[in-house]
Amino acid sequence: MLSLEESLKILKETNALLEGHFVLTSGLHSPQYIQCAQLMSKPKAANKICVSLSNKIKNEIQNFDIILSPAMGGIVVGYEIGRLLDKEAIFCERVNGELKLRRDFSIHKKQKVLIVEDVITTGKSSLECAKLILENDAIIAGYACIIDRTNNNLSVKEKIISQVKLNIPTYKKDKLPKNLASLKPIKPGSRNL
């Protein structure tokens, strides 16, 4: 398994973990920004992270039947973990603002389902996946992600297995620390504010 240092090096080299001054979608400011799509677009690097994560999953959760990931960010990660663990990997997607199973995907009664994502922050998508699993009379086997940045603020009884656990601080615009205030803010996905 990869160490934390090795994992962080890969994330930084692939631009999946950026450092600077970022304005998040929430309007909060942060010294780091995560974009796992950058990691997943580089198959050799992504494979190293996913192999390590799949080994952690094998050690922590011995028995599950299927993987469920939320679209978009979790699809590729879920597929790769499914391939490595020889498990079916399905995904749910938003329909009128709510996660739904489409494309003839189904979760069967009593199936043990592992929720796999790229990043878990607030847990909103993960909890919506959990609701979908329970609505199908299935069992939540646990959660897995490349990056866990919940800061232990997600209250779930099942385990969250992650390759990297990060505690990334966020700040309101009027409460920026001096080192962050001295950097030009970047809004990810756009060139300028």
pLDDT computed for residue 193 by the predictor: 44
3-state secondary structure of 192: coil
Rounded to an integer, what distance in angstroms lies between the CA atom of residue 138 and that of residue 115? 12
Residues in CB range of 118: below 8 A, 6 or more apart: 36, 37, 40, 73, 74, 76, 77, 145, 146, 147
Write down the domain spans for the chain.
4-181
Full strand arrangement of the beta sheet holding 139-148: 98-101, 88-95, 66-70, 112-120, 139-148, 160-165
Q: What is the pLDDT of residue 123?
A: 80
pLDDT in tens, the chain (193 residues): 899 999 999 999 999 999 999 988 778 899 998 989 999 999 999 999 999 999 999 999 989 999 999 988 889 999 999 999 999 999 998 888 888 889 999 999 999 999 999 988 878 888 999 999 999 999 999 999 999 988 877 778 888 999 999 998 889 988 899 999 899 988 885 334 4
40 upstream amide cis, omega within 30 of 0 = no
List the structure tokens of 26: 């929430």
pTM of the model: 0.87
pLDDT at 17: 94
Structure confidence at residue 192 (pLDDT)? 41
CATH code at 4-181: 3.40.50.2020
Nearest to 68 by CA among 106, 116, 103: 116
Tens digit of pLDDT for each residue in 44-53? 999 999 999 9
Beta strands in 42-132 (DSSP E): 66-70, 88-95, 98-101, 112-120
Q: What is the DSSP letter of 56?
A: H
